[in-house]
Amino acid sequence: MTLLTGLSAFPITPADAEGRVDPGALRVLLARLVGSGVDSIGLLGSTGTYAYLSRAERRRALETALDATAGRVPLLVGVGALRTDEAVRLAQDAKGMGAAAGLLAPVSYTPLTDDEVFEHFATVARESGLPLCIYDNPGTTHFRFGPDLVGRLARVPGIVAVKSPAPEPEGVAAHLAALRAAVPEGFPLGYSGDWHAAEALIAGGDAWYSVVAGLFPEAGLAILRAVRAGDAAEARRLDARMRPLWDLFRAFSSLRVVYACADLMGLCHAAPPRPILPLPEAARQRVAGALRALDLS
């Protein structure tokens, strides 16, 4: 599916302390992405705190984004939920409202087996009709997709791509090769984890699902364009330049850091949903220093 290649930008979803989405603040963030050249917008991903929002607020966020983008940038929308029937309803909402595709993670309290995850995905795909991207995010779901399971799911009608966490640079080629051997030809293999994404793209990854691009699309696009031009040295130079931000992402989580960035830049003053707390002042000052050093503020 061509929309699930290239750069997908994942913004936060500004909301108040009661979990009500702020459409005006969301529009401000989306305005930075519309027309930037990103290939898609990843709405309500982990950075978009989908797991903390009610069905009604997810609909409000999607309605706002569809209006703000006006069809100019495809929307990939998080539809993960604890229950399969709830995920089906969320995917049906996204399909009916006009999202291009859904991003589905195997969210669970009880650890899931491969067969349970397969049935969950197959049911959501079948009953919603929404094209789905497999969301492999073991850091939050505590479930890891192996190549065999990805290969099984890649043959389910309506499951059209996979988003994996980018391995360490020395392991990305092997990871890609294992997935390529398991999935049908042309099935897009994309990566998240901004600090390793450049190497994943250089190795042949089809997509970068990017947190940093949700605020700074130009920085992500510059790396992607260098890779597409065959200039791995330039892509690595641009990636190395972003190292102060990557280090902060790894130290404090990209979610907390991008909330601090948005606040420091005056784009919106939302806090992450509780129990997640904003960064303490010393860490905020480190973020501010990185923004100044990178000339991103």
Q: Annotated binding residues, as ranges?
A: 47
Cα separation, 98 vs 130, whole angstroms: 10
Could you give the 3-state DSSP secondary structure of residue 35? coil
Task: Show the tokens assigned to 102.
Answer: 């859904």
Radius of gyration of the chain (CA): 18
- Residue 166 identity: A
Find tokens 């990557």 and name the residue. 246
Q: Which residues are annotated as a binding site for pyruvate?
A: 47
φ/ψ of residue 76, rounded to 5: -100, 120
The most distant pair of C-alpha atoms in the chain lies apart, rounded to whole Å, by: 49
Q: Give catalytic residue positions.
A: 135, 163
- How many other C-beta atoms are found inside a 10 Å radius of the C-beta of residue 136? 21
Tell me how far apart the alpha carbons of residues 144 and 106 are, in angstroms, rounded to a whole number. Answer: 9
Cβ–Cβ < 8 Å for 73, 33: yes
Lookup: tokens for 212: 């940093």
Spatial CA neighbour of 203 closest among 155, 157, 235, 244: 235
Q: How far is CA 286 from CA 65, 146, 239, 245, in A?
A: 31, 37, 19, 9
